[in-house]
A and B are shown apart, each in its own frame.
Chain A
């Protein structure tokens, strides 16, 4: 009802006959006074009151924005174990964060994992997606199989691969030697653990990104390819000069999702390697979980979490900026 209160003074100021361009949403409810009749046709359509957005905004504020703000606050509260009230105590967590060698190691591991994930998932998904965009029957059948991992949860997939990579169980001892792990203990070696996490992430998410690329590739106008073949362009040139440039926005969407997802990947690490062996696959978000729920230092964990949000936000903004993602709306409007 607060919207009603806002609406009244606005329409008094402007008067009933004011230009529709000035109608800023709040003043043109359908039950507003008769002045509306005199407006142009376009203006006769009422505007919804911003009050309609209040429940959604409040909900989001309480359960997503407030936790984020609270995390920032807790990061300035020193070491706090969850009992009693946290007290503001300056920058101690932050100075600790920048001197912590574990954090430095976890940062490197997180970056390596992110790069590995991107380098694995993007080319495979891009090629599979473009391939699956074709409408032949066999492609449709194969795509249906490709998407099966989508029905399994991260938890299920991590547990499945934990079983497969279990050195006592079999397959790891068979394939380990081929991959350079003579004893078959892939997740027990520090490089192997990280590669395993990246691979399992790829196995899980490549189907999803394939779908995104398939959707993108199907939207490329056929005339472009027809023109290119008339000009004598082969398959490679068509791919590099039509398909790739046309998929630019899709590549950005998919890359942002992969990068933000791997920067904060928690579940696969938690279930597959527990950050080990030692700390050799401890990512920042898993390190944060350990600080909070095993070390019970909520203050320090919050500092870690805040740093992670800052980094992932900056990275996605940078990617968006570099790829001209701002014009994304226009791709959507085409639909």
Chain B
């Protein structure tokens, strides 16, 4: 046990000095590893072939898709599949998805920052107890609660509305969020709190001007992770909404694909369109997205 702690400390001190990491660092260790390169190449094919089929098929005519080889380049490129999807309510799904994601992230951050602050700063028994309850929540998988949520949301009169999606999505994002936020808030040194207190800052000001800015990396991890989960959530929208007006991208995609049936190019065009917003986000903010997700692994 103590050894693992030591190892962790070692690792910690290593990462603290990470700014000075030389670029040749890993190069020294794995200089041209042909086996690993081969493995990475194989995985590259596994990743790219489905993506290639996705994009090319979405540009095919339906006749060509049914007859031909999916790996061949389309004989005629057509955007008609995309037009069909865009005319089937896609924009509405997108707007709903943006709303659900934005409100979920806002709710999670606003609710969790004070909780994490209390957990970190007040040594009280209650704070610890609450934290433990939240951590137990890590083990509750969302699909398991669909039955009671369906009944409860119905009784609250929220069935088939966007809040019906947002509220449970936010609640189930809280355990991970707290774990990450508490982790990053613990690193703020006592001296900084003392300096703030000497300046006469109250708790609210300490939270807003010291704790929040210094736990930025944790906050961005949380925002990215929560946003991805809310953006991609399927089971809550599936169970808790029903009408066309309340569909988000995932449930919209599902409905469209069952409408289109054997019209595979149209389904795949819908898949492509549903992925475009995140793909753009990935291109624009790859670093933030990647380091955000990496943070979930308990960096």
Contacts and interface: CB of A to CB of B under 8 A. Distances in A.
B147 to A, nearest CB: 5
Contacts of B151: 70, 74, 82, 298
B68 to A, nearest CB: 7
Nearest to A217: B26
Given A56-B112, A327-B8, A335-B12, A71 B268 contact: no
Nearest to A147: B290
Interface in B95-138: 107, 111-112, 114-115, 117-119, 121-127, 130, 133-134, 136-138
Size category, B interface: 35 or more
11 contacts: A47-B203, A48-B207, A53-B130, A134-B29, A146-B47, A150-B289, A152-B271, A207-B47, A221-B14, A302-B148, A334-B13
B216 to A, nearest CB: 12
Interface stretch (B74-82, B83-91, B180-188): B180-188
Contacts of A49: 118, 122, 203
A282 interface: no
B39 A131 contact: yes
Most chain B C-beta atoms within 10 Å of own C-beta, residue among A71, A207, A271, A328: A71
B134 A60 contact: yes
A211 B294 contact: yes
A219 B143 CA distance: 34
Contact of B143 (A29, A161, A264, A271): A264
Given A67-B152, A330-B8, A169 B141 contact: no
Interface stretch (A107-115, A184-192, A248-256): A248-256
A19 interface: no
Contact of A25 (B123, B201, B251, B271): B123
Contact of A250 (B1, B232, B298): B298
Given A47-B121, A142-B40, 4 more contacts: A65-B137, A153-B274, A211-B290, A327-B5
Contacts of B54: 160
Contacts of A44: 194, 197-198
Q: Top 3 closest A-B pairs, CB basis?
A: A334-B12, A25-B122, A221-B14
B7 interface: yes
A133 B275 CA distance: 27
Contacts, number: 401
B113 to A, nearest CB: 9
B193 A50 contact: no
Contacts of B239: 293
Interface in B32-48: 33, 36, 39-40, 43-44, 46-48
A169 B21 contact: no
Interface string B261-276: 0101001101100110
Size category, A interface: 35 or more
A171 B71 contact: yes
B86 to A, nearest CB: 16
Nearest to A216: B297
Contact of A46 (B146, B197, B296): B197
Given A74-B147, A316-B139, A334-B8, A134 B30 contact: yes
A69 B134 CA distance: 14
A312 B122 contact: no
Given A50-B126, A293-B239, A298 B147 contact: yes
A91 interface: no
Given A148-B47, A156-B271, A229-B28, A64 B147 contact: no
Most chain A C-beta atoms within 10 Å of own C-beta, residue among B122, B149, B183: B122
Interface in A315-330: 316-317, 324, 327-330
Interface in B228-251: 228, 231-232, 234-235, 239, 249-251
Contacts of A246: 7, 11
Contact of B5 (A60, A145, A267, A330): A330
A35 interface: no
Contacts of A116: none
B47 to A, nearest CB: 6
Contacts of B51: 148-149
Contacts of B270: 159
Contact of B298 (A229, A285, A328): A328
A294 interface: no
